[in-house]
Amino acid sequence: MTHLSVHFTGVSKRYPHFSLDDIDLALPTGSIMGFVGANGAGKSTTIRILMGLVHQDSGSVEVLGHAMPADQAAAKRDIGFVSEDMRLYEAATLAWHMKFIQSIFPRWDQRYADNLLRRFDLKPQQKIKGLSHGQRVKAALLLALARRPRLLVLDEPTTGLDPVARREVLAELMAVLIDEQRTIFFSSQNTLDVEQISDQIAFIDRGRIIDSANKEIFLDRWRRIRLMLPPDTTLPRLPGVVEVGGSSRLPVLTINQFDPAMVAACQDAGAAVQSVDAMTLEEIFVANVQSRRDHPVAVSETTESVTA
């Protein structure tokens, strides 16, 4: 059995204008989870609960075997955390920050840090004040990575980076995973990044996890089928169709529980199957959110079987 590095069970947190509801998350050690959601969907609150910075009202959170928030100090010894709203001390240099972190984390790897300095094109003697946004993000990532943490928690790590820097950062994240004992949890609005590097995917919308699964299962479950119907034919009701678009003669089905038998069922009904297309994560995310917002009850029934 794989050990879980992050485990949320039934976590809720209420604020006056927003609440997180019954969040379940499971991230196996050695893998990378992409956490996708719109602005204000609850990504940052979830991450703060994960880090023990915000206390959940109910439910349990276990990170690297430590109960959060009670055991946060111990858990954070093995966590590298970078969030979008995190700043370094403007008046100090990057070199000072590196020394400071090194004095606290015994596993700090100076050779790796030097390596990252070169790769991220950062100058340690420069004060944080003088760095661009991208350089600050990379500096914070360097400080987290060179601790060699067992778990990296990154809130929007690639936001605001230029394409070259983004590629470097993704490469470093993947390089971390060459060690099977290390795990990454990252949130992003960039579904391309998530689709590319994550093993596990969780979608959050309006404070609820609306879908969470292994990425390959996830991408396999969703298909778009383009059909051509002869006049006066109606399609049978197929399970897992979340949206029927297109025109009446040329319908396009969006399906979240695809099975090759569905294609046969369409053909049996007299439809010509023009194509069965895989969907990108972005398309899946949008279809998922929209179908749930349109039919909140109907779709939530399928969630149980899907997330299992």
Q: List residues binding another protein (CB under 8 A).
A: 30-32, 48, 51, 53-55, 72-77, 79-83, 85-92, 96, 100, 103-104, 112, 115, 140, 144, 167, 170-171, 174-175, 177-178, 180, 192, 195-200, 214-216, 219-220, 272, 274, 277-278
DSSP reduced 3-state for 270: coil
**Least Å from the CB of residue 144 to another protein:** 8
Is 268 exposed, middle or buried, given 0-12, 13-18 or 19+ CB atoms closer than 10 A?
exposed
SS3 letters across 173-224: HHHHCCCCCCEEEEEECCHHHHHHHCCEEEEEECCEEEEEEEHHHHHHHCEE
Nearer to another protein, 72 or 288 (CB): 72
As measured in angstroms, the least distance from the Cβ of 72 to another protein is 6
Q: Tell me the C-alpha distance between 246 and 38, whole Å.
A: 26
Under 8 Å between Cβ of 152 and 182: yes
Q: Is the CB of 104 or the CB of 297 nearer to another protein? A: 104
3-state secondary structure of 251: strand
Residues whose CB falls within 8 Å of the CB of residue 266, separated by 6 or more in sequence, listed in order: 225, 227, 235, 238, 273
Structure tokens at 118: 């070169």
CB of 87 to another protein, least distance (A): 4
In the DSSP assignment, the letter for residue 152 is: E
Q: Which residue type occupies 49? A: I
Nearest residue (CB) to another protein, 253 versus 299: 253
CB of 6 to another protein, least distance (A): 16
Q: Which residue number, 80 or 292, has a Cβ lying nearer to another protein?
A: 80
Q: Which is nearer to another protein, 23 or 88 (CB)?
A: 88
Nearest to another protein of 77, 243 (CB atom): 77
Query: Position of tokens 């008046």?
Result: 91
Taking the complex as a whole, the smallest distance from the CB of residue 117 to another protein amounts, in Å, to 13
Residue spans of beta strands (DSSP E) within the chain: 4-14, 19-28, 32-37, 58-63, 66-68, 79-82, 151-155, 183-188, 200-205, 208-214, 223-228, 241-246, 251-255, 272-278
- Given the complex with another protein, which of 49 and 210 has the nearer CB atom? 49
Question: Can you tell me whether residue 139 is helix, strand or coil?
Answer: helix
Amino acid at 204: I
Residue 193: CB minimum distance to another protein, A: 10
Cβ-based nearer residue to another protein, 167 or 293? 167
Minimum CB distance to another protein, residue 60 (Å): 16
3-state helix, strand, coil in the chain (%, to 5): 35, 30, 35
